[in-house]
Amino acid sequence: MLTGDLVRARVQKKELRPSLVDPENEKVQERAHAVFAVYQAGLESGANRGALKAGVDEVLGDGIDHKLVRGLAKVLSDASEFTSGPPVPAPELRARLFEMASAAPSRAFARQVYAEVAQELGLAPEEVQRLLYADRKQEQVLIKLGARDVHWLLNRYNVALVQALLLRCQELEVRLAAPSPERVRQLFRFVKFHGLMHRLEKAEGGISVTLDGPASLLRLSTRYGMSLANWFPALLLQECPWELEATVHWGKRNLRKHLALDSSLGLVSHYRDTGAYTTQTETWFQERFEALETDWTLSRDGVPLDIGDNQVVVPDFTFTRGGKVAYLEIVGFWRRSWLSSRMKLLKRGGPENLVMAVSTKLAGTKEALSKFPGRVVYFKEVVPPKDVLACLENVAR
């Protein structure tokens, strides 16, 4: 996504509006075609990042839209693949060459050393010279172009622009008008996949989803911000009308600005519409639970449950045995106030057969982990299946 220096937005009093581009605009398409051509030519010639940057600089020339051009290049670069590193670790190669050349420093002897090392590695001397500093990022070579065409690039740019603003978000609310149950479950699978702190409420004619932003955390804010930004394209998969309002910290003074978006803007997700994503934590738990000798049946129905105050929770797992049912929600990022509020709702009016698994590594505050009332299982990397099983025996209804 875009870095802060590449963000294009307009501020009108308290309103913050991203400067989205029109993918059908001829002038914008011309710029995008020029950047795309640099990367296409670079792919054919085996250009590295440094050469691609020089090509983008030529496209920019004396133009005043440098943020747009460099932003398009950033998006295209992020979507593409580069060589991950040299076949021989560059530090080891440098140490070997310098050690051999130190015996008799001269250009003639250096050529001899290159030839000897090249023979040892089965490479050409020119290839050894290229690999000497191949561990530098600018030396990574383009091997696959990620964008399909210019329209994909421009649509991806608009989404990346919004994502960059969400990196400094305090809180956002999304209102969905008459969404289908399948799309709601899909959206919440993405919420759970990224471990976001959320509140789901019933609203007139639909539902309201509130997500805490990275600016609300004292710890892990950068990591959480990336998770929130990476969640946003999942919202664009919704087929129903939607509206988003967010409070964003803007500028060096961190002034609070209001960001408003809706489905009429025509933002296009680059995510494949494959349904639900599964986190590694969920996969690990499911594998370990199913390995236990138990007559509980595990499923991933994701049926929304009322927890009081018009709020709803979507559990990650449903457990059944005979006529009894229990649920498990896995909590990723959290603040003490958020978790306390959730537990109070559950204790006061929520389903008695819901178990919560809470990560001890993703606390968003500096406060020590407290013992909260209710049925909670704490974990670091893997949710302990035996602890969950013990809770199921007590809470199933």
pLDDT in tens, 58-106: 998 777 789 999 999 999 999 999 886 566 677 777 777 777 777 777 7
Instruction: Name the domain count of the chain.
Output: 3
Residue 260 confidence class, pLDDT cut points 50, 70, 90: very high
Q: Which band of pLDDT confidence, cut at 50, 70 and 90, is reported for residue 192?
A: confident
Residue 37 placed within a domain: no
Give the residue-averaged pLDDT of 117-130: 75
Mean pLDDT, residues 22-31: 94
User: How does the average pLDDT of the chain come out, rounded?
Assistant: 86
Q: What is the pLDDT of residue 373?
A: 45
Residues 286 and 260 in one domain: no
Distance CA 164, CA 214 (A): 12
Mean pLDDT throughout 111-115? 81
Burial of 110-140, coded b for 16+ CB within 10 Å and e otherwise, reads eeebbeebbeeeebebebbeebbebeeeebb
Same domain, 173 and 246: yes
Structural domain of 99:
90-134
SS3 143: strand
345 closest CA partner among 389, 317, 320, 310:
310
Among 90-104, 332-346, 361-375, the minimum mean pLDDT is found in: 361-375
Do residue 174 and residue 126 come from a single domain? no
Q: Residue 86's pLDDT is what?
A: 60
Do 388 and 299 share a structural domain?
yes
One domain for residues 262 and 284: no
Span 253-280, average pLDDT: 88
286 located within any domain:
yes
Q: Judging by DSSP bridges, how do beta strands 198-203 and 206-212 pair with one another?
A: antiparallel
Residue 82: helix, strand or coil by DSSP? Answer: strand
Which span out of 134-138, 186-190, 313-317, 384-388 was modeled with the highest average pLDDT? Answer: 384-388
- Residue 48 inside a domain? The answer is no
Residues 244 and 287 in one domain: no
Indicate whether 290 and 373 sit together in one domain: yes
Residue 220: pLDDT band by 50, 70, 90 thresholds? confident
Q: What CA–CA distance (Å, rounded) separates 228 from 225?
A: 5
d(CA 359, CA 382): 9
Residue bearing the bigger pLDDT, 148 or 185: 148
**Section 164-170 average pLDDT:** 95
Report yes or no on 3 lying in a domain: no
Would you say residue 251 has pLDDT above 80?
yes
Say if pTM beats, i.e. exceeds, 0.85: no
Rounded-to-integer distance, Cα 389 and Cα 94, Å: 56
Residue 157, domain member (yes or no): no
Domain assignment of residue 77, yes or no? no
Give the residue-averaged pLDDT of 347-373.
72
Q: Outline where the chain has alpha helix (H).
A: 26-45, 49-60, 66-79, 90-101, 107-121, 125-131, 150-166, 181-193, 221-235, 280-290, 336-348, 385-395
Task: Kindly state whether residues 291 and 339 are assigned to the same domain.
Answer: yes
Residue 60 lies in a domain: no
Q: Determine the average pLDDT of the residues in 365-374.
A: 55
Does residue 388 share a domain with residue 291? yes
Query: Are residue 287 and residue 230 in the same domain, yes or no?
Result: no
> Residue 383's domain is classified under what CATH number?
3.40.1350
Q: Are 338 and 200 in contact (CB under 8 A)?
A: no
- Residue 364 lies inside a defined structural domain of this protein: yes
Going 314 to 330 to 356 to 293, the CA torsion angle's sign is: positive
* Low-confidence winner among 146-155, 245-254, 357-366 (lowest mean pLDDT): 357-366
pLDDT digit string, tens, across residues 273-306: 876 567 788 889 999 999 998 999 998 766 777 7
Cβ-contact 319, 337 below 8 angstroms: no
Same-domain status, 250 and 343: no
Q: What is the pLDDT, as a whole number, of residue 310?
A: 66
Structure tokens at 341: 């509020």
pLDDT above 60 (res 338) = yes
Q: Name the residue type at position 325.
A: V
When pLDDT is averaged across residues 38-53 and rounded to a whole number, the result is: 92
Same domain membership, residue 372 and residue 284: yes
Does position 370 have pLDDT exceeding 70, yes or no? Answer: no
Q: What whole-number percentage of the chain has pLDDT above 90?
A: 44
The token pair that represents 136 in the structure block: 């530098």
